[in-house]
Amino acid sequence: MGLSPLPEAAPTTHETISPNWITTRLDFIANWGRSNSLWPMPFGTACCAIEYMATAASRFDIARFGMERQSFSPRQADVLICAGRLPFKLAPVIRRIWDQMPQPKWCISMGACASSGGIFDNYAMVQGIDTIIPVDVYVPGCPPRPEGLLYGIMLLQKKIMGETMVDPSLRVEQLVGPDGLFRRPSAIDEISEPFGNSVHQTRSG
């Protein structure tokens, strides 16, 4: 079950400058600031949202990781945390929320259902939100413990610290293409394939 490459719409013809002392210092400052002041947009649909709330509350306290300010508007958010299962009915909603978030933005897929559909391998459920929006960090668990989510957040911070301004493709919006999809149909089929003790799923022609 390999992940598909980015859609072909992403332009690759940007002129790039080579990294040098100035860009790496500027990168460090910008990334340090960004990774330590992430504003999360919670998209809680199920039991994972309870664990998310526990993470945000006093005992675990994601404010320690710079997430003091929960953003309930996508327009002032940096990281979308999808906590819970995503039915097809909500797919256009999370897509619209993602499109409304300004760059730079990241996404954490929290829990088994958001990452893969989990136990809900049925007609109503998106088999992983990475068929709808790009995902940076997957947090496994059903639901994950707050420590798991905090570890995922720390992984995201580590990922942000590795970003560089000489790679302009990092900030390219990955929009829904003219075919109405964000990934290739075959990639979506592959990601959503039934597994384990499972039966046949119709493949796209």
Partner 1 sequence: MSGAQPDLVAANATVQALRERFPDGFLRSLVTSGQMVVYVAKQRAHDMLSWLQQDPAQRFDYLTDLTCVEYRDRERPLEVVYQLRSLARRADLRVKIPLDPDGPLEVQSVIDIWMGADWVEREAWDMFGVRFKGHPDLRRILMWEGYAEGFPLRKSFPLRGHWSRAEQTRQALQTNPEAYYSLEELAIAEAYHELPADVRDRLAKAGKVLP
Q: Which residues bind partner 1 (CB under 8 A)?
A: 88-89, 91-93, 95-96, 121-124, 126-127, 131-132, 176, 179-182, 185-186, 188-189, 191-192, 194, 199, 201-205
In whole angstroms, what is the distance from residue 204 CA to residue 202 CA?
7
For partner 1, give the closer residue by CB, 38 or 125: 125
CB 99: neighbour CB atoms within 10 A?
13
- Output the six-digit token pair for 117: 């559909």
For partner 1, give the closer residue by CB, 27 or 130: 130
To the nearest whole angstrom, how small is the minimum distance from the Cβ of residue 111 to partner 1? 19
Q: Cβ distance 91 to 40 under 8 Å?
A: no
DSSP conformation letters of 22-70: HHHHHHHHHHHHHHTS--EEEEE-SHHHHHHHHHHSTTT-GGGGT--S-
To the nearest whole angstrom, how small is the minimum distance from the Cβ of residue 62 to partner 1? 29
Sheet with strand 40-44: strands edge to edge: 40-44, 79-83, 106-110, 137-139
For partner 1, give the closer residue by CB, 54 or 181: 181
To the nearest whole angstrom, how small is the minimum distance from the Cβ of residue 98 to partner 1? 11
To the nearest whole angstrom, how small is the minimum distance from the Cβ of residue 176 to partner 1? 6
For partner 1, give the closer residue by CB, 150 or 187: 187
To the nearest whole angstrom, how small is the minimum distance from the Cβ of residue 97 to partner 1? 10
For partner 1, give the closer residue by CB, 32 or 88: 88
- Output the six-digit token pair for 12: 């690759």
